[in-house]
A and B are shown apart, each in its own frame.
Chain A
Amino acid sequence: MKRQTRRKRTSERLLEIFQAYLLNHAHGLFSSLGRLSRAPVTSSMTILVLAVAIALAGCFYIVVANIQQLTGNLQASNQMSLFLKDHVNESAGQKLADELAQHQRIENIKFIGKKQAMEEFKANSGFGEALNALESNPLPNVIQVLPKDVLDNREALDALMAEFKQMPQVDFVQVDMQWVERLQAIMRIAGRGVTLVGVLLGFAVTFITGNTIRLELHNRQDEVFISKLVGATHAFIQRPFLYTGFWLGFIAGFSAWLIITVMLLIVETPVEKLSGLYNSSFQLLYLSFSEFILLLMMASGLAVLGSWAVLHYQLRQLKPQ
Chain B
Amino acid sequence: MLRFEHVCKRYPDASDALIDVSFRLERGEMAFLTGRSGAGKSTLLKLIAMMEQCSRGNVMLDGKDITRISERKIPYLRRNLGLIFQDYKLLNDRTVFDNVALPLIVSGYSHQDISRRVRAALNKVSLLGKERKYPLSLSGGEQQRVGIARAIVNKPKMILADEPTGNLDPDLSSEVMHMFEQFMQVGVTVLIATHDIELIQRLGHRVLTLDNGRMLAS
Question: B-contacting residues of A (Cβ < 8 Å)?
Answer: 16-17, 19-21, 23-24, 222-223, 225-234, 236, 316, 319-321
Which single member of A227, A316, A320 contacts B106 (CB below 8 Å)?
A227
**Is there contact, CB below 8 Å, between B102 and A226?**
yes
Answer yes or no: B128 CB below 8 A from chain A CBs.
no
**Is there contact, CB below 8 Å, between B75 and A228?**
yes
Nearest chain A residue, comparing its CB with the CB of B114: A20
Q: B150 to chain A: which residues have CB within 8 Å?
A: 230
**Is there contact, CB below 8 Å, between A222 and B89?**
yes
Q: How far is the CA of A321 from the CA of B43 in the complex (A)?
A: 10
> Quick check: which of B17-25, B76-84, B173-181 contacts chain A, the rest being far away?
B76-84
Q: How far is the CA of A320 from the CA of B105 in the complex (A)?
A: 19
Which single member of B71, B78, B107, B113 contacts A229 (CB below 8 Å)?
B78
Known: A226-B89, A229-B89, A233-B75. A16 touches B106 (CB 8 A): no
**Is there contact, CB below 8 Å, between A20 and B102?**
no
Chain B residues touching A, range: 20 to 34
**Is there contact, CB below 8 Å, between A227 and B102?**
yes
Answer yes or no: B146 CB below 8 A from chain A CBs.
no
Residues of B53-105 contacting chain A, CB below 8 A: 71, 75-79, 81, 83, 89-91, 102-103, 105
Interface of A, helix, strand, loop or mixed by DSSP: helix
State the Cβ distance, B101 to closest chain A Cβ, in Å: 10
Proximity string of chain B (177-206) to chain A, C-beta cutoff 8 Å, 1 when within and 0 when not:
000000000000000000000000000000
Q: How far is the CA of A321 from the CA of B87 in the complex (A)?
A: 12
Q: B91 to chain A: which residues have CB within 8 Å?
A: 222-223, 226
- Give the 10 A-B residue pairs with the shortest CB-CB distance, closest first: A231-B79, A231-B78, A230-B103, A232-B106, A20-B108, A17-B108, A16-B110, A233-B75, A231-B75, A230-B102
**Is there contact, CB below 8 Å, between A319 and B102?**
no
State the Cβ distance, B153 to closest chain A Cβ, in Å: 9
Nearest chain B residue, comparing its CB with the CB of A16: B110
**Is there contact, CB below 8 Å, between A20 and B109?**
yes
Answer yes or no: B116 CB below 8 A from chain A CBs.
no
Which single member of A19, A227, A320 contacts B51 (CB below 8 Å)?
A320
State the Cβ distance, B157 to closest chain A Cβ, in Å: 13
**Is there contact, CB below 8 Å, between B108 and A231?**
no
Answer yes or no: B215 CB below 8 A from chain A CBs.
no
Q: How far is the CA of A229 from the CA of B108 in the complex (A)?
A: 16
State the Cβ distance, B103 to closest chain A Cβ, in Å: 4
User: 9 A-B residue contacts at CB 8 Å?
Assistant: A24-B105, A226-B89, A226-B90, A226-B102, A229-B78, A229-B89, A232-B106, A316-B71, A320-B51
